[in-house]
Amino acid sequence: MTEESTKIAKIWSLLNCRQDPGALDVGTARRQTPGGRKKRSGPPSFCLLFLAYPISSSTIYFLTPGSRKMLSCGVCTSNVQLSGKVAIVTGANTGIGKETAKDLARRGKCTCSQLTSADVSPLTVIVMVLPRLGIADWFPFRWFTGARVYLACRDMQKGELVASEIQATTGNSQVLVRKLDLADTKSIRAFAEGFLAEEKYLHILINNAGVMMCPYSKTADGFEMHFGVNHLGHFLLTHLLLEKLKESGPSRVVNVSSLAHHLGRIHFHNLHGEKFYSGGLAYCHSKLANILFTKELARRLKGSRVTTYSVHPGTVHSELIRHSTALKWLWQLFFFFIKTPQQGAQTSLYCAVTEGIEGLSGSHFSDCQLAWVSSQAGNETIARRLWDVSCDLLGLPMDCVSSSIMD
C-alpha cells in the first residue's frame, strides 16, 4: 500500500460519525431546567466530528479517483434464511430500523399447497419472483414463510403503515407492530410482558431506536432523555427478554451505537445532566454506554448460546437529526456522501444473521467488519460499574444475568 493510500485509509477510519437507529419521538419526555444546571448549546468537537465525514470524503473523492472504492459501504452478503425465526427491531417505523426489519422479513422461502417440489412450471417462477416485485397480494393463498418480525414502535400509526408496506414488498404476512415507548419503563415492561405471553421463541433482538441532540428533557422515570432511551431503555428491554433469548439459542442481541462514542464519557456524578448538559455530548455518552453494555453483557453471557454485538451504521440520512438545524443543512449540502437507510442497516443485519461470528461476541462492527473503539469503551471497570448503576436505577438485581447464566 502506498503512503497516499495509507493516509486515505486512516482518514476513512475516522469518518461516518452519524447514526440513525430509527427515529424515536420524545414521547413521554418532560422538559426540565434544573436549578444550577449549566446549559451548553453544543460542543465544537461534536460538530467537527460530524463535519469530518462530508468534508474529508469530498476531498478524497475528487483528488484521488482510486480512493473512491474505499468510500463504498459494507454490505451484508449473507443469504441465511430465517423461516421459523422470531425477531424484534426497536424503532422500526422509519430509517435504519425500517430497512432492517424489511430485510429480516424477506429472508424466507416460498411455499404453496398448489406446487410440488418437482414443479418447474411458469407459476413456480412467478411465485419465486413476486417478493422482489412487491406484488405479493396478487396471490390469494399463503406462499411465503419467513421470520416473524416485530416492529417495536412508539407511534403505532406509522408502525402499521410500515408493516403493511413490508408485507406487500416481501410477501411475508408475519410482520407485526407492538407499542414500545423506551422513555417509559412501564411501556417497556408492558411490551415485554405481551411478547412473552405471545411468543415461545426470540432469536434476534436489535436494539435500534434512539434519540439525538434533543433539548434537555427527562423520561417518565426521571432519566436524562438520551441516557434513558438510548441506554437504560434497551438495557431493561434486553433484561426482560433475556430468558427467552437463552431458551431460543443460538440467539443474538445487536445494539446500534455510533462512532460518536469516541467523544463520550460516563460521568457517574452527572448521568442525568443536572449539573451540566450538552445535547451533542449527551448523545455521545449514550452511544458509549451502548458499547460498554454490549461488552459487559457478552462477558456475563459467556458460555451461553446468546451472543451480543454493537454496531456503527455510518452517517445516514434520516429523521434522527430533526433536533439540529445545522446538521439538516449539512446533510443537504453533502447528501451525495451520506448513506441511505438501507446502506446504514447493513452492519446490523451482518451481526444479526452472519454465520461464524459467534466467537466475536462483545465486539464492535462498522461497515460489516470489526471496528476499533475508544479506550473508554474498552474499559472493563467502567463497563461493570455502569452495569451496576443501571441495575440500581431500574430496580434490577446487579447479578440479574450472571446468577441465572452461570449456575
Contact between 234 and 203 under an 8 Å Cβ cutoff? The reply is no
Spatial distance between the Cα atoms of 172 and 205, rounded to a whole number of angstroms: 19
Spatial distance between the Cα atoms of 405 and 407, rounded to a whole number of angstroms: 6
Q: Tell me how far apart the 2 most distant CA atoms of the chain are, in Å.
A: 75
The lowest-confidence range among 187-201, 274-288, 334-348, 376-390 is: 334-348
| CA angle 273–274–276, rounded 5-degree value | 65
- Give 337-376 pLDDT, tens digit per residue: 678 899 999 999 999 999 999 999 999 999 999 999 999 9
Give the mean pLDDT of 169-198.
Answer: 98
Cα distances (Å, whole numbers) of residue 355 to 77, 79, 252, 307, 351 = 11, 10, 11, 12, 9
Query: Is residue 96 scored above 90 in pLDDT?
Result: yes
Q: What is the mean pLDDT of the chain?
A: 80
Which grid cell is 188?
417497556
Give the mean pLDDT of 98-125.
Answer: 66
The lowest-confidence range among 82-96, 136-150, 341-355 is: 136-150
Domain with CATH 3.40.50.720 in the chain: 3-32+42-108+146-405
The lowest-confidence range among 26-30, 196-200, 233-237, 343-347 is: 26-30
Question: With the C-alpha atoms ordered 299, 19, 97, 322, is the resulting torsion angle positive or negative?
Answer: positive
Spatial distance between the Cα atoms of 314 and 339, rounded to a whole number of angstroms: 7
Q: Residue 252: what are its φ and ψ, rounded to 5°? A: -140, 150
pLDDT of residue 143: 55
pLDDT of residue 355: 97
Which grid cell is 358?
459467534
Spatial distance between the Cα atoms of 105 and 85, rounded to a whole number of angstroms: 10
Per-residue confidence band for 280, with pLDDT thresholds at 50, 70 and 90: confident
- Looking at the domain covering 3-32+42-108+146-405, what would its CATH class be? alpha beta
pLDDT of residue 178: 98
Residue type at position 192: A
- Give 36-78 pLDDT, tens digit per residue: 555 544 444 555 555 454 444 444 444 444 444 444 568 999 9
Percentage of residues in the chain having pLDDT higher than 90: 61
Q: What is the SS3 assignment for the chain?
A: CCHHHHHHHHHHHCCCCCCCCCECCCCCCEECCCCCCEEECCCHHHHHHHHHHHHHHHHHHHHCHHHHHHHCCCCCCCCCCCCCCEEEEECCCCHHHHHHHHHHHHCCEECCCCCCCCCCCHHHHHHHHHHHHCCHHHCCCCCEECCEEEEEECCHHHHHHHHHHHHHHHCCCCEEEEECCCCCHHHHHHHHHHHHHHCCCCCEEEECCECCCCCCEECCCCCEHHHHHHHHHHHHHHHHHHHHHHHCCCEEEEEECCHHHHHCCCCCCCCCCCCEEEHHHHHHHHHHHHHHHHHHHHHHCCCCCEEEEEEECCCECCHHHHHCHHHHHHHHHCHHHCECHHHHCHHHHHHHHCCCCHHHCCCEEECCEECCCCCCCCCHHHHHHHHHHHHHHHCCCCCCCHHHHCC
Catalytic center residues: 283
Cα distances (Å, whole numbers) of residue 125 to 58, 82, 187 = 44, 21, 45
On the CB side of 141, CA atoms within 13 Å amount to 8
pLDDT of residue 20: 41
* Nearest Cα residue to 15 out of 325, 279, 312: 312
